[in-house]
Structure 1
Amino acid sequence: MKQRPKNRKTMKAHIKVYLLPVLFLICLQVSAQTIRNTNVKTTTKSVAKSNTQTNKKVQTFSKKVPSSKVTYKTKQKKVASVRNVPNKTKISYQGQNYYYANNRYYTQSRGSYIVIAPKVGFKIKTLPSNYVRVNYNTYNYYNAQGVFYVQTNNVYEVVDPEIGTLVYELPDDSEKVVIDGERYYEYANILYERVKVNDKRAYEVVGIIDME
C-alpha cells in the first residue's frame, strides 16, 4: 500500500518528460506554418505587382476621337501628288472617283493626282499586291499602305481596325499629332501609339478620328 504514492509521482514525472517535447514540437510546427503562410502571401503580392507592370497597356480612346481635339505637328498636311498616273484604273465610290496604280489610290485635283486613302466601305475585287495579313482577336485584316480590308464574300471592304490592332510599319506620309498633350501618329484618320513588342518597335491602334 505504501508504494502507490511513489508510483503516482513517478507517473507524473514521466508524463511531464513526454509532454514537454511534444508541446515544443507543436509550437515549432505552428511557427513554421505561420512563416510559410506569410511568405506565400508576400510572394503572391509581388507576382501580382509584377504582372500589373508587365501588362500595362497604352492609353486608348473610346473608338472615336473628335477632330477638334487633334492637333497636327505640321501646319500643312503632307500631300503626295504627281502630274500623271500611267496605267491607272478608275474606280467610283459614293460619287468620288479613285484612280488606282502602283499599289496606291489617287484623286484628281487641279490637274494633279493626289495620293488618298479610300473611305470605309470602299470595295475592291483584288487586293493591292503589297498587303500584309494582320490578325487581332477574331479579326483577319489585310493591311495595304495603311488601309485595312476584310474579306466579305468575294470582295475586300475597307474598314476601321479594332482598338489594340498592331502593325509594324506606317506609311511614309503618316502624320504626327498631339491629343491632350500626348503624341500619336495618324494615317487615314486612324490613330496609333508607338509601342514595343518583344523589344521590337510597333504601332498600336488607339482610336479613330471622327471627322463629323
Structure 2
Amino acid sequence: MSNLKKIIPISIIALFCTYQVQAQGAPKKNKSPKAKTTQVKKKPIKVVHDKVAYKKSKGKVVTVRTLPKKNIIKHKGVNYYYANKRYYTYTGGRYIPIIPKAGFRIKTLPVGYIVINRPSRTYFWFNGIFYTKSNNEYEVIEPEIGTVIYELAPDAEKVTVNGNTYYEYSNVLYEKVQINGSRAYEVVGYIEG
C-alpha cells in the first residue's frame, strides 16, 4: 500500500508534465479582435462636359420619317414617342431619337426592363435609363453612386476623364468592374453642363 501511495502522486506529476509539454507545442490561437469589414466610399466624379474626351467622334444623329407602332407620351406639354426601344421627339417632319431626362414620367415600363435593388430604393433599368416608381407612374432619375449594372446601353460611349477610362450614357459615368467573376459597370459619377 505504501508503494501505491508513492506511485499515484508520481503518476499524476508525470501526466501533468506531459500535458504541459504538449500544450507548449500546440499552435497558438490568435486572440486579435474580430476583423471589421469596411466599405470604401468613392467620391463621386462630377466633371464638366468640356473636360470629357470621347474615344470616337460623334456620329450624326439618325432621324426617321415614320415610326411603326409608336406610343405617344405627353410630358410637360410636349409629345414624345416610344418605338423600337427608344424615345423620339418630332420636329421638321422627322423623328429624332432622344434620351429622356430626370423627371420624365411614363405609365408603363418598357418590355424587358431589369429590376435593380439598392438599400435606398428599387430601380427599373432599361436601355440605359433608370426609372423609379412614383405613385402610379415611373419616373426617370439619375442612379445613385455605386449602382451596378451588367450591361451598358447600346449607345454608351467610352470616354476619358483625367486619364481614366469610363463609359458614358445620358451623362452618367460608369467604371468597368468585376463582380464574382462577371463583368459589370458601376455608376461612379456624372457629367454636368
CA 111–73 in structure 1, closer or farther in 2 if over 3 Å, else same: farther
Match of 1:87 in 2: 69
1:184 to 141, 166, 171: 166
Q: Secondary structure at the match of 1:68?
A: helix
1:72 to 54, 76, 84: 54
Deviating above 4 A after TM superposition, structure 1's stretches of 4 or more consecutive aligned residues are: none
Task: Tell me the distance in 1 between the aligned counterparts of 2:105 and 2:149.
Answer: 22
Task: Tell me the distance in 2 between the aligned counterparts of 1:190 and 1:173.
Answer: 12
Task: Tell me the distance in 2 between the aligned counterparts of 1:36 and 1:146.
Answer: 54
2:82 to 100, 114, 119: 100
TM-score by length of 2: 0.75
Task: Give, as a single letter, the amino acid of the residue that structure 2 aligns with 1:187.
Answer: Y
Question: Gapped runs of 5+ residues in structure 2?
Answer: 1-16
Task: Tell me the distance in 1 between the aligned counterparts of 2:108 and 2:83.
Answer: 13
Match of 2:44 in 1: 61
Give 1:157 deviation, angstroms: 0.5
Greater shift, 186-195 or 65-74, is seen at: 65-74
TM-score by length of 1: 0.69
Are residues 1:196 and 2:178 paired? yes
CA 60–202 in structure 1, closer or farther in 2 if over 3 Å, else same: farther
Task: Tell me the distance in 2 between the aligned counterparts of 1:102 and 1:87.
Answer: 9
Task: Give, as a single letter, the amino acid of the residue that structure 2 aligns with 1:202.
Answer: A
Q: Deviations over 1:128-156 (max 9, x none)?
A: 11211011222100001110000011111
Match of 1:18 in 2: none
8 Å CA contact 1:150–1:157 kept in 2: the answer is yes
CA 136–79 in structure 1, closer or farther in 2 if over 3 Å, else same: farther
Task: Tell me the distance in 1 between the aligned counterparts of 2:170 and 2:60.
Answer: 12
Are residues 1:133 and 2:146 paired? no
8 Å CA contact 1:79–1:173 kept in 2: the answer is no
Q: Deviations over 1:96-129 (max 9, x none)?
A: 5421123320123554323221010001111111
Question: Gapped runs of 5+ residues in structure 1?
Answer: 1-24
8 Å CA contact 1:175–1:187 kept in 2: the answer is yes
8 Å CA contact 1:133–1:143 kept in 2: the answer is yes
8 Å CA contact 1:165–1:204 kept in 2: the answer is yes
Identity of aligned residues (%): 48
Q: How does 1:103-118 map to 2 (within 5 A)?
A: 103-118=85-100
- Greater Rg by CA: 1
8 Å CA contact 1:78–1:173 kept in 2: the answer is no
| Aligned pairs, number | 178
Task: Tell me the distance in 1 between the aligned counterparts of 2:126 and 2:116.
Answer: 10
Question: Which structure dedicates a bigger proportion of its chain to helix?
Answer: 1
The CA RMSD over aligned residues, in Å, is 3.4
